[in-house]
Structure 1
Amino acid sequence: MDPNVTALPRRFAPPRPAVTPRVAAKVWLSVFLAANVLLVTVFFVAGGLSDRPLISVGRLAGLYAAQAMAFQLLLVARLPWLDRRLGMDRLTALHRWTGFGLLWLLVTHVVFIVFGYAGLEDNTAAGELVSLANTLEGVLRAIVALVLILVVGAASARFARRRMAYETWHFVHLYTYAAVFLAFTHQIAIGQSFAGSPVARGYWWTLWLSAGTAVLAGRFVLPLWRNMRHRLQVAAVVPESPDTVSVYLTGRDLDRLPARAGQFFLWRFLTRDRWWQANPFSLSAAPDGRTLRLTAKAVGESSAKLRSLRVGTRVFAEGPYGAFTTIHQQRPNALLVAGGVGVTPIRALLEDIAGHVVVLYRARTPEDAVLLPELQKLAKTRGAVVHVLVGPKDQAGPHGPVLGPESLYALVPDIVERDVFVCGPPGMTSAVLRSVRQLGVAGVQVHAERFSLAA
């Protein structure tokens, strides 16, 4: 640090609880799921087993599938308590794997039920499926629900997801709600636990109503209420580089908006040609209660059009989202690692994070290092150290790859005693995470979040 710079007094993080917020959320979700699985199993056994093992397995798979659907609704509800602790990327990953588990449970349910009844009726599997659809209420609806789930599952496969615009992918996922409704009516019509036990019926109604209420509150009521309250609009549009722009927003009672440095919103700019597009952009400055700022690079048509926004344009913002915040800080000091436009949440965190801070800013060229002047000015004010690492992604320094373990240790010898916050392109982020693991940084001290959206 420049000895001529007068640093602000170092701020230290308050004592952290023994159980981190992330661990608390994971434990809560695990206990919630395990308790519900146990209850469903008890209800299934109490309802009586079929003489045909195939039918019993099929029924149990169907009950677990119904439970997985309700759990999926909880994961996509974007509840603030969960999102602040786990982050949308982790919730999305859990949602994805739960979705594939749900798909296999539904397939198991259909296959075992059909083959079980086919053996009982001495019928072919195809003939039995047609017979069940024609004779039992709700079976046809269940078949339609399965087809919809299969379509959504296919759209969620990596090869398909990479070829689809977010808006298209999101629209396809809306069919999941129709599938959930159809599956629920099927369960009401012929589900054994509904028909045989008032206690089980009460449980299923409570579970489904709670899940539906969570989605309604998190995805619709809360965003609408916040936007009616704060009435965001564009206050200024400032070019930061030839392909990067900052958008400043104002509104009412922004001091009551529960946003933190490091979080992001889904922004909808209410113009004629883009009101239907929602884009995730991080806050590039810590919220001050008067304005919000986002900074975006023109990597697509939507972000490129930000430069043409007019002052006064109304904005509908969903959020704040993300666990990339100081509530997860475990150590008195921190290392912030940014890559490209990933500097935006890092720049905001530098205002809010406690203790002594080292910032590593990775950019391909000096021109790509957006927000660098204000990052350096802010670092000088609060006594932080900034290292700018410019060069191609395969660049090597005197200690090997510039973000390899040896290079990180050379730049930050006390790295194992710091929290590490990483934001940048997927390849860079993965490289840094591998390096800090090799250096022995504890997992609870490492924080990275990718912008993955649960449908």
Structure 2
Amino acid sequence: MAVTHTPHPGRIVHRRARHPLGSRARRDAAVRTGAGVALWSGLLLVSYWWATGGGVGDVLASWAQALVSVGRLCGLVASVLLLVQVVLMARVPLLERAFGQDRLARDHRIIGFTSFNLMWLHIVAITWGYAGGSTPNVPAMLWRLVVDYPGMLLAAAGTVALVLVVVTSVKRARRRLRYESWHLLHLYAYLGAGLALPHQLWTGQQLATSPLRTLFWWTAWGAAAGSVLLWRVGLPLWRNARMGLRVAEVVPEGPGVASVHLTGRDLHRFDHEAGQFYTWRFLGRKGWTRANPYSLSAAPGPHHLRITVQDVGDGSRAAHDLRPGMRVLVEGPFGRLSERARTQPKVALIAAGVGMAPIRALAEGLAYGPGEAVVLQRYTDHPLYAAELDWLADKRGLRVLRLPGRRRGPHSWLGHGLGPVSDLDALRFWVPDIAERDVFLCGPGPWGDLVVRDLRAAGVPESQIHSETFSW
């Protein structure tokens, strides 16, 4: 039987928020502050232990001792940052809800490159110092360290794994890779971190010179490993066993775009919200082991979910050929593009192309009264969900502003036909009270950057701009 998604009047008209406005946003802000304090406390603590353990004195003693001492400090800081990277990738719900996937990915990238650079400084400085500060002796000393010192061979293998991750994370390399391949290669970061542990325990004497230091490092490594096992492995297994998701129907939405309707058990028991996304694996098709991120394109129901997929790659192309009854595995939900981030009674929803998927879900799932929500929909030829948005406009007072046509140029996020008016003036004309609204934004990265530029110029505070992009 065909499955269609028509919003149910009794379910969405006069929808009320389940939480007081802004309460979860304030809690998430407190979590972000706490996470920052924990990170800097860890870095300061290991730096303090290095300084009080003779690190400063060794720097002043001799060239060779200074190299070894600086190398140790770089190794300690790099180790802390490496563990932070692991936790950021572990899908910890508390962090996912507080930061959102886009910000976690950005912080993970910054911390990752910093940790990687410090790791190389650690290797170079330690090896050079052990070689007595003599450059010609460095190759022979590096060989001795890798072959003769406990745990160093494993650490070398871990370094190779981390190099692979970092190289494929450079923007130029990412552009040459499919998302699915990049995602698979990125998992080598776990291997690299795991292989470094024996080296730290066996050769890092400063790690075990006091019970407090031993407790700190074992707790840090245990928390990182436990986070991966619990949130990256255990929770998805439990959720998928409970949800029992299967494909119900694939419905074309436009050229190269289709919605996948899914059914499952007791979906209302899970903490997903309109606007969030899962990573999806469709069993029974080629390449099912590779996960693809797709947003919910309708408010989640007790037995029904919907995603919308655009044909832009191998995984998304295969999604158009799914068959009813196929089993589906998911990880998530992820993202702060939801009611959770909201702080204002009024909202503006802005999207381009298939970025309309989470915005369409928000238009249904958010709590608002007539006139309190406006949608700005950018599209080239075919507006997605036109009938559904019209229905929401009629039943809930949603204001829909469609912005067709190709973009005016690389520095504009709007289409042709507006005349000489600037993007900012057009935005202020269409939504005069934009600074008093929460703005939810989804679309291609460069396009979204232009929208955010104008939102800031229009006086919208950063805390009221909630964006998600297609970039990775």
CA–CA distance in 1 between the matches of 2:66 and 2:121? 13
Post-superposition offset of 1:264: 0.6
Q: Work out whether 1:268 is the aligned partner of 2:284.
A: no
User: Residues 170 and 297 (structure 1 numbering): CA distance in 2 closer, same or farther, change over 3 Å?
Assistant: closer
For the 8 Å contact 2:184–2:290, the answer to whether it is kept is: no
Post-superposition offset of 1:44: 2.2
The superposition leaves residues 236-255 of structure 1 with CA deviations (integer Å, 9 ceiling, x where unpaired) of 22222242211111111111
What is the 5 A alignment of 1:194-233? Answer: 194-233=207-246
Aligned to 1:252, the other structure's residue is in SS state: coil
CA–CA distance in 1 between the matches of 2:128 and 2:260? 60
TM-score (norm 1): 0.92
Match of 1:442 in 2: 461
For the 8 Å contact 1:268–1:316, the answer to whether it is kept is: yes
What is the 5 A alignment of 1:7-26? Answer: 14-17=20-23, 20-26=26-32
Aligned-CA RMSD value? 2.2
Aligned to 1:308, the other structure's residue is in SS state: coil
Q: 2:137 aligns with which of 107, 124, 137?
A: 124
For the 8 Å contact 2:21–2:345, the answer to whether it is kept is: no
Give the counterpart letter for 1:425 in structure 2.
Answer: P
Give the counterpart letter for 1:233 in structure 2.
Answer: R
Q: 2:264 aligns with which of 244, 247, 251?
A: 251
Post-superposition offset of 1:430: 1.3
Q: Which moved more, 1:43-52 or 1:76-85?
A: 43-52
For the 8 Å contact 1:400–1:407, the answer to whether it is kept is: no
Post-superposition offset of 1:399: 6.3
Give the counterpart letter for 1:431 in structure 2.
Answer: L
For the 8 Å contact 2:443–2:468, the answer to whether it is kept is: no
Count, aligned residues: 444
Match of 1:90 in 2: 103
CA–CA distance in 2 between the matches of 1:363 and 1:334? 20
Q: 1:156 aligns with which of 160, 169, 173?
A: 169
Q: 1:417 aligns with which of 427, 432, 436?
A: 436
User: Residues 371 and 18 (structure 1 numbering): CA distance in 2 closer, same or farther, change over 3 Å?
Assistant: closer
CA–CA distance in 2 between the matches of 1:244 and 1:132? 55
What is the 5 A alignment of 1:113-192? Answer: 113-119=126-132, 124-192=137-205
In structure 2, the gaps of 5 or more residues are 1-11, 409-414
What is the 5 A alignment of 1:262-301? Answer: 262-301=275-314
CA–CA distance in 2 between the matches of 1:15 and 1:353? 11
In structure 1, the gaps of 5 or more residues are 1-6
Q: Work out whether 1:36 is the aligned partner of 2:42.
A: yes
Match of 2:393 in 1: 379
For the 8 Å contact 1:88–1:452, the answer to whether it is kept is: no
Give the counterpart letter for 1:44 in structure 2.
Answer: W
Post-superposition offset of 1:22: 4.6
| Greater relative CO (CA pairs within 8 A, separation 6+) | 1
CA–CA distance in 1 between the matches of 2:296 and 2:421? 30
CA–CA distance in 2 between the matches of 1:158 and 1:21? 34
% identical equivalent positions: 42
Q: 2:365 aligns with which of 352, 364, 369?
A: 352
Match of 1:4 in 2: none
Post-superposition offset of 1:145: 2.5
